[in-house]
Homo-oligomer: A and B are copies of this chain.
């Protein structure tokens, strides 16, 4: 195992159990039991919890603690999970499979899937607003979360992506815009929220934001490469769906080699932005890991 891979594994071993327990506990007992079940179903599908882990590591990178950043980390995973549930709906990407299991609406019906997403999005803000944190940092984290998730961020990117499916022409600038909003905005917010909750100095916060921007781009390029080269079984979801639908991707615009070069450049940029941070080893390892991941 390379140094980066063993560092990532150590972070996962340390942080995943805490995240997995904390994420679903609030939705175990309540009057809307079936809705709670639908929310837990998608939260329990697992995955690597990239956004919450990056948030926690960003706090640690500036000398803060996991405890300080945990409400932000949970909020980010709630937002990410809601976005997957809604993106999988028939009116959006129409997917039956996610992380190797039937998608939320296949199990609970479309109405409950829409509501489970709505409730997770709401709970994201609720968990941050209820956290016993410095009130100024808490409000700033809430603002960043709304900015990353909303119409100038993730939701806006998903809308442009939906519209893109009907566009005849499509260039690299437009593709970059969509990804900066759809995937990049929430990844960037993950780092910046961690920075804020961990008590970053302004220059540290800006560096983590720029790192987040760069790994957001790398993450999306790798996603497109995997979609073009992997199988369903590799991914736990339908592979080749973008190409099959004539959707524009980095490999379709740049070729596979060109996309791999762009991925490597984005990763280098991310690493550069870490140079001045006191505890940068984990975030550096994650930048390598995200660019090399197999799903």
Contact = CB atoms under 8 A, between A and B. Distances in A.
A145 B163 contact: no
Interface in A140-197: 140, 142-143, 145-147, 149-152, 155-160, 162-163, 177, 181
Interface stretch (A30-38, A46-54, A250-258): A30-38
A125 interface: yes
A110 B142 CA distance: 28
A96 interface: no
B92 A114 contact: yes
Given A32-B157, A35-B159, A119-B155, A110 B126 contact: no
Interface of A: 27, 30-32, 34-36, 39, 82, 86, 89-92, 109-115, 117-119, 121-123, 125-126, 128-130, 135-136, 138-140, 142-143, 145-147, 149-152, 155-160, 162-163, 177, 181
> Closest 6 interchain pairs by CB?
A126-B146, A32-B156, A91-B110, A129-B142, A135-B135, A35-B159
14 contacts: A30-B152, A31-B181, A34-B159, A86-B115, A91-B110, A91-B113, A111-B162, A112-B159, A118-B118, A119-B155, A123-B151, A128-B142, A135-B135, A139-B142
